[in-house]
Amino acid sequence: MKSTVCFLALILAVIISQAEAQTGSSATFRNIRQCAACHPAQAKPHPETSMAHALESVNECAILKDHSVLTFKNGPYSYCIERKGKDSIYSVSDGQETVTVPLLWAFGLGSVGQTYVYEKDGELYQSRVSFYREINGLDWTLASQNTKPANLAQAAGLLMSHEESTQCFGCHATNAVENRQITFGKLIPGVQCERCHSSTDNHLEGLKRGDAKLAHMNSLRPLSTEQTSNFCGQCHRTWEEIAASGRLGVLTVRFQPYRLTNSKCYDTDDKRISCTACHDPHQEINRVGASYDGKCLACHGGGKPSARACKTGTSNCVSCHMPKIEIPGSHHKFSDHEIRIVRANAPYPN
């Protein structure tokens, strides 16, 4: 092990010196290219994933760059997001007065939708309207659908509590929260390598020194199915969290670990039903349903005695057993991860 670390240290010394020559700084070494030098299969495709862009600064937001003006009107309120240089200005009017603020952050890459956050009087607010890919425009943010603003300020956005803001930034960014405070100075937008694997700074410094202990990073490979579900559930919501919250109905379709745990075939010790059995977090999600057939047949094709083979088909399993469910107002159908035999006219299972 020691010899391996020392060999890697020589490689990293060259990589680091090149990075210092190019940037004039050895402050972080968080650039994905540094990870790709030793982990190309994982690091190279990651920048193109939705998770890598789970948070974008408004300056870098591709959707806002591509839409010079976005408008929406409902009742007495008119909404507008206008691109001005590198900024996006958010305006809400009731016909007599107007609230105008610069947007700061864009949550979500926009493959489904994207919601915006702005700051006013030292507080963070979530925009009342969001961008939805399906309609290529604005509509109510899901959290705003069933609320009625009492005034123009409330019509513009929802005040985010400290808990909400730390949770949102903590899940959509890397190095975003320390001691329950958002660290805007250190925050890296999106879910990057060290969000799951711990400090890349220490890892690279350990390799440089030949220090195996310092170079150690978290590996998720040894985790059991249950441990993986709880790890991913930190952001995608665990079974315990949703069960304790009392949430019911189609809104829970967004919480994949919770839904998966409800599946009859869920086995806490069988990795063939874990999150990473079907999804590689380093790559963009595969949206072709038939591509998952091999994962299903690993058990239902004779690989597990208790897993019966399907009597009606052997292809595109998820189209029947993981139906797509649309949350009203989301403009998107989510794959339900509660794997089951779906009966005609059966109510949505909680």
pLDDT, position 31: 61
Task: Provide the β-strand partners of residue 173.
Answer: 189
Spatial CA neighbour of 174 closest among 210, 151, 152, 198: 198
Q: Please say whether the beta carbons of 243 and 215 come within 8 A.
A: no
pLDDT, position 303: 82
DSSP code for 27: S
Q: What is the mean pLDDT of residues 150-179?
A: 97
- Is residue 261 predicted with pLDDT exceeding 50? yes
pLDDT, position 115: 98
pLDDT digits (tens, 9 = 90+) for 215-242: 888 889 999 999 999 999 999 999 999 9
Q: What is the residue extent of each domain of the chain?
A: 2-51+191-215, 55-159, 225-335
pLDDT, position 255: 98
3-state SS class at 157: strand
Q: Please say whether the beta carbons of 249 and 338 come within 8 A.
A: no
pTM above threshold 0.85:
yes
pLDDT digits (tens, 9 = 90+) for 75-121: 999 999 999 999 999 999 999 999 999 999 999 987 899 999 999 99
Q: Please give the Cα distance from 120 to 37 (Å, whole number).
A: 42
pLDDT, position 272: 96
Spatial CA neighbour of 78 closest among 184, 155, 132: 155
Q: Please say whether the beta carbons of 147 and 158 come within 8 A.
A: yes
Q: Please say whether the beta carbons of 134 and 331 come within 8 A.
A: yes
Question: Which segments of 220-263 does DSSP mark as H helices, in order?
Answer: 225-236, 239-245, 256-261
pLDDT, position 24: 26
C-alpha of 126 from chain center:
17
Q: Please say whether the beta carbons of 339 and 308 come within 8 A.
A: no
